[in-house]
Each structure stands twice: as C-alpha cells, then as structure tokens.
Structure 1
C-alpha cells in the first residue's frame, strides 16, 4: 500500500486502536472515528494471552504492557464451597505457550495504544456511517456529521452491533444471545488475599483476579433471560446469586458499590460471515467474530486481526483467508466452553466436575491442551519480546 494511502478506522476500542497503530507504523495516514466522547473504556479489565502479547510486540509495545500488567500466577478452578477442582501452573503455561498470561485494566491498554497514534488522528464524538465500500477503481466513502471522508482502506471495528457489518452483509443474521449475562467490577478490596480463581456453580460462574495496581478484578456470569435487570441494583443481584460462595467473593461484594457493577447480556456471532471484507472495507474484532468471553480471547483476537490486517495491507482477501478460519474455530470453542461452565443439570455438573478434577490430576499438560493452537499463535512477523524475557512469574 502506498505511503500516501489513507486508512479510516471506525471505532476507538482495543481492536480499532491496535489497527490504527499498526497501519500508522506501516506508513499510512490514519484517522480514527470514535462515536463516544472519549476513549475511556468501560471499567473492566482484560486478560492478554501470549498470542496477543506477541502481536503487541510487533508494534513495539508488548514489553510495556507486560510491565504494566499483573502476571497471572498459580490459581485454578473451584466449586462454590471452595473445593479446588483443578490448579493452574503459571510457569508450565508460560513455558508451553512461550510467555505469560497477564491482566490489566482496559484503560491502561487503551492509553498505551493511543500513544502510538498521532493525537490529531483520533476524533472522538465522531459518529460514522459507511456510505460506499469502494472497489478497485474508487475509494471507500464514510459519512460523518462534519462531512464525508474518502479512504483507501476502511477498518470497521465498531463492535458486536456493527452498522458497517450490516451494510456489507445485509442478509447475515447477526449476533445471537448466548444465554447468559455478565457482571464486572474493578475495585480495591482492603485486606483481601487470594489466588486467582474461577468458580463454577449451577448456571453461574465467578472469577477473581488481582491487578498490579492493587485493585481486584471480579467477573460473574449467570444464565438469565435476555434483557433482564435487577429489580433494585446489580450489586444486590450479585449478593443474591453469589453472596454465600467461598472467600474472597463475599469480601469483594462487601467492598463494591452499586455504581461499581457493570452488567451486560452476552451475544456472539453463531453463523460465520462469508468474508471479513468487501470492497475496501475490512471488519475486525467483535464486528467480525464476536464470541462469548469463556476463553478470554475476544480482545486477543481483535489484536491479532489488527496486526494481520496491517501485514496484508490492501490485500483484504488475504486478510479474510488468514483470519476467518481461525476465528470461526475459536468462536465455536468459546461457545462449547460456555455450555460446559454454564451447565444447569445437577447430574451433568457432577460429571463435569469429576472430569475436570481427573484431568487436573493427570498433569498440567492435559489441562493446557485446550489452548493449543490459540495461545501459541505467532504473528506473520516478529520480533517478540517474549523471546527475550523470562517466562516465569513476576
């Protein structure tokens, strides 16, 4: 792609900013259009696996993110009464996949990515609509309240309810409800000491993880009808659902205020798109392949998309060919995992828990096998900071 080419990125989230940074580093002039009034994301954390960290390495920011994040230590999977079903070995995982799993606040990642982009390239409070996807003979055109923009490349990172996706593929059914809602909170919890864990109950899960800044990131999920909300507030709803679960869950709930709790229904794209591009427009992240959060790969796959897109440049067919099969497989695996950990049958849960415990006793290699082909992915080009730093815990 020529150095004078103009790329317009619709959406200033993690995927959009990663794409803008990657394209800028390739020499393109970039414009980021974000509908919100600021880039400040919702108050939640994100887990980055070695695959996404290696992608960030290609932008020169992977080492910075590792330094800012909490390296996930030993933890595991528990029952609501606190019994350990399996224990994770952080060192074994890092050795197996070539680097650590880390966790940090989304705002920290957004800030690091935005710093890679010229400040005047980012426009907030900038709604955008695809007016023409363009083709080999003409540029794409994006309509904004301040006038139309022409682009040699449009990157649609406008989320799960992407208007660009609907414009490109009007016959596609779009996202479907995954069957459960999630709650998230990032707060200080004075005096709390714990190992990272995820706890599986009957149609409910809870996870608690420390962040490097001393706060705690906690998330929960439960099988619920779509569109349901608590009759009082979402903290009270969490107390009803999880208040009698093992420590440190009660301490987290005691420290949370109603305004700290975020609730969202979960949707995913069950029917894969025929392609991730049309004309001069490429779809990226949730706009292309929204998935349940059960593998922790939604943001990771958006980051992968961005660096692969920048690698292929104007060859959007090559981008689709590289990304569609991989992300389709990961979406399907995330859906299968959701069915497993949101199970409601008591008999099924007993079998599930016994199987997890037996698998864990067989050794960490078997437990980690489910992430083979996901966390060990490498971008089309290096270098990777993980090749130069220790893979043990920090």
Structure 2
C-alpha cells in the first residue's frame, strides 16, 4: 500500500490526507502546532470547493452549514450599495451555494475523515530528500527519518519545503496590507452579508449558522506592525468605528482576545513547478494569494483532490511513476491557480486605493457594472466557480 506523509495540518493538508486515504493510501499528517485551528477565524467555501469536497464525502456536511440568504454585495463605507445581487442567483448559476463557516468546523469535518493514528499534533516534520523515480522521499521528525512514496508539503506561506525544493530569495512579497478576522454574536434582527470599501480600507460581514457573525477587515500598515498595547479590537474601532450601521456595534461586541491579525502576502511570479521528485507543494506553499476572492482555502482543497487523483492513478500502473504523476499535478494546477492568484491581487490593489479621484473612479465603475443586471457581479466568478474535479481514476 502506498504511503504518504503530509506536512501541515491546515485546510489543504487535511484535505490531501483525507483524499489520499479515501483512495487507499496510508497517511501520516504532521502538524507542528498543538491544536489544529485558532478561535476567531471563518472562511468561504465556493461551489468549486464544494464539488472537490464531494469527492471525499464532505460536501453535503459543509452545505448544511450555509447561512447566507437574501441579497449581498459591495457597499461604500457609508453603507450605500455599489453592487448587489441575490444569494440565490449565484447558487442557481453555479449549482451550489457560497458557504461561509467557521474554519474550525471545516477542520473538524476533515479531521474526522482521517484514520486513527494518522494525525500527529505538536510534531515538526522537515523535508530531508525529495526522492526521485527510483528512491522514496524522506522526512525528518522527532522520531527520526521516515521514507514515503509521496510527501505533500502543505506547510504554509513561508514554506520551508518550498525553500528546500527551490532555493534562493523568497518568492513572496508583502502587499502593504494587514488583515483582521473575528467571530462575534450576530444581532437579533440578523445581518446582510456585504463587503464595504473605503479609502484603502475594507470591512466584510458574513452571517454564520448558530447566530454568529464572521467579520474581516484589511488596511494599509507596515509589515509586522501591531496595535498599541496589542489591542487589535481598539485598532479596528479606530479605523472602522465611523462606518455604516451595524459595523460599530459589531466591533463593540467582539471579545478583544479573539481578534486575529495577519499581514497579507502574495507571489508576483508563479513557481516553475509545484513539485520536485516525490514532493508536491500545495495551497499557500505553492500559490499564496490575497484573501480578496475568498479562494485561498478553496484552491488548496482543489489542489488536494487533484493531487490525490494523479498520485493514485500512478500507483495503479504496473511501474508506478510518482514524479511523472506529480508533473501531471503541476500541469493541472499551475495555470489555474496563477490566474486566481493574480485576479485576487488585482482586486486587493483596487481596494487599497486611497486617493479621492481613483477611489471615486473605482466606485463608479463597480456601480455601473451593477446596473448591467442582477447577474453582472455573479458572472465575474465563472472562471473560478465552474471548475469541476477530475474523475476517479478507478
């Protein structure tokens, strides 16, 4: 039975481990943190990712978490709509809803699909050798060196495995933006999902199941900066406390210790490949992207099921060629993820505009596009949301 080692227990790593296990692989997943997810983070799961999750039986449980209804879209800081559409219109167009849920809820669903003993928390794993057609890849853990037919490097935006495969200066760059995320209780009357754009500032609101709300925001900041005294909620109130109702009240309801802050990075040039030898890069390790399209986790999920498809097809031949299978994985994923990565960064640059004239021009363009009809905004997602996973090699 083929053996895979997965480095990193984020969404991509968990999906890859679950997908490989579903295809008959033995898997070991090493996560250096003592727990899988921090409190306070949400994420969007688009129709493309739901179809990918269907391949491991996790699509319908995620669909059951859907809480978006009515209308949503893009607003100004004063609350006036720039563009809006029906949530149902988008679901009808793509055959599935956009699900916004707690990241921890998806993590639990994925972890439940791993076999007993496969998940190793508080366990650091480092790539020792990528292997080749004749030799396995090797990974060093606290228990010593381990060999594997396949190593999946899902070790994040600052991926040590990526550096080992492609030495040299880091390919990622700071965008000049920092991002906050928080979960709080929703008001009794409910919430309208929306993303509001100001001058260089973005604030998003999404209702969650169970009477909660997921909030996110971005703003220009020096790399590594933090709020005075570490009070990120106070910083959010300073930046967004004068925005449209219910933004101020939502921020006041947030518990200060659940606000997460992370700088936003991107990769100006794609990697030459997403693999070397028997090692495959996945998710942020392969194609870090800004959060503006809500596709970071979705593309990692796509990566995972495509990787499992190609790797499994190779093991079912008389003379397995894992490096060749991973070349197929790169071919299937590199162009698509580069397109999504660049579109997301372009949107980040639009929302980061601060000058009065550029901001007015941007808002006018978005408003005019919205006048083209209720599907104008939705159609922008065709390239992303119409994706479908490969068929099972069996």
Q: TM-score scaled to structure 2, two decimals? A: 0.94
- Which of these residues, 224, 228, 233, is aligned with residue 227 of structure 1? 224
**Is the partner of 1:68 in helix, strand or coil?**
coil
What is the distance in 2 between the residues matched to 1:71 and 1:319?
33
What is the distance in 2 between the residues matched to 1:107 and 1:276?
27
Asked if 1:381 corresponds to 2:391, the answer is: yes
Q: Point out the more displaced range, 40-49 or 300-309.
A: 40-49
Asked if 1:261 corresponds to 2:271, the answer is: no
Query: Alpha-carbon deviation of 1:43?
Result: 2.3
Name the structure 2 match of 1:356: 366
Q: Mark the CA change 1:368 to 1:49 in structure 2 (over 3 Å): closer, same or farther.
A: same
Query: Alpha-carbon deviation of 1:192?
Result: 5.3
Q: Mark the CA change 1:26 to 1:41 in structure 2 (over 3 Å): closer, same or farther.
A: farther
- Which of these residues, 62, 66, 71, is aligned with residue 69 of structure 1? 66
- Which of these residues, 105, 113, 118, is aligned with residue 102 of structure 2? 105
Equivalent residues in 2 for 1:301-320, closer than 5 Å: 301-313=299-311, 314=322, 315-320=325-330
Query: Alpha-carbon deviation of 1:191?
Result: 3.2
Query: Alpha-carbon deviation of 1:345?
Result: 1.4
Residue ranges of structure 2 left out of the alignment (5+ in a row):
312-321
Q: Mark the CA change 1:165 to 1:228 in structure 2 (over 3 Å): closer, same or farther.
A: same
What is the distance in 1 between the residues matched to 2:70 and 2:330?
35
**Is the partner of 2:269 in helix, strand or coil?**
coil
Q: Mark the CA change 1:312 to 1:39 in structure 2 (over 3 Å): closer, same or farther.
A: same
What is the distance in 2 between the residues matched to 1:122 and 1:145?
15
Q: CA RMSD in A?
A: 1.2
Contact residue 70 and residue 103 of structure 1 kept, 8 A: yes
Asked if 1:335 corresponds to 2:333, the answer is: no
Name the structure 1 match of 2:317: none
Contact residue 192 and residue 248 of structure 1 kept, 8 A: no
Query: Alpha-carbon deviation of 1:73?
Result: 4.1
Contact residue 46 and residue 103 of structure 1 kept, 8 A: yes
Name the structure 2 match of 1:86: 83
- Which of these residues, 347, 353, 356, is aligned with residue 346 of structure 1? 356
Q: Any idea what the Cα deviations from partners look like across 1:213-254, whole Å, max 9, x if unmatched?
A: 211100010011111111131111111100010111011111
- Which of these residues, 162, 166, 177, is aligned with residue 163 of structure 2? 166
Query: Alpha-carbon deviation of 1:172?
Result: 5.2
- Which of these residues, 56, 60, 67, is aligned with residue 59 of structure 1? 56
Residue ranges of structure 1 left out of the alignment (5+ in a row):
383-394
Query: Alpha-carbon deviation of 1:271?
Result: 1.5
What is the distance in 1 between the residues matched to 2:5 and 2:246?
45
Query: Alpha-carbon deviation of 1:60?
Result: 1.1
Q: Point out the more displaced range, 129-138 or 192-201.
A: 192-201
Name the structure 2 match of 1:386: none
Contact residue 186 and residue 207 of structure 2 kept, 8 A: no
Contact residue 68 and residue 206 of structure 2 kept, 8 A: no
Q: Point out the more displaced range, 360-369 or 343-352.
A: 360-369
Query: Alpha-carbon deviation of 1:283?
Result: 0.2
Name the structure 2 match of 1:40: 37
Contact residue 72 and residue 100 of structure 1 kept, 8 A: no
**Is the partner of 1:271 in helix, strand or coil?**
coil
Name the structure 2 match of 1:387: none
Contact residue 10 and residue 36 of structure 2 kept, 8 A: yes
Contact residue 178 and residue 263 of structure 2 kept, 8 A: yes
Equivalent residues in 2 for 1:94-173, closer than 5 Å: 94-171=91-168, 173=170
**Is the partner of 2:14 in helix, strand or coil?**
helix
Query: Alpha-carbon deviation of 1:341?
Result: 1.3
Name the structure 2 match of 1:281: 279
- Which of these residues, 8, 11, 14, is aligned with residue 11 of structure 2? 14
Asked if 1:295 corresponds to 2:293, the answer is: yes
**Is the partner of 1:177 in helix, strand or coil?**
strand
Query: Alpha-carbon deviation of 1:351?
Result: 0.9
What is the distance in 2 between the residues matched to 1:277 and 1:172?
18
What is the distance in 1 between the residues matched to 2:4 and 2:292?
32
Contact residue 69 and residue 88 of structure 2 kept, 8 A: no
How many residues get paired?
379
Name the structure 1 match of 2:335: 325
What is the distance in 1 between the residues matched to 2:112 and 2:258?
27
Q: Mark the CA change 1:192 to 1:177 in structure 2 (over 3 Å): closer, same or farther.
A: farther
Name the structure 2 match of 1:389: none
**Is the partner of 1:359 in helix, strand or coil?**
helix
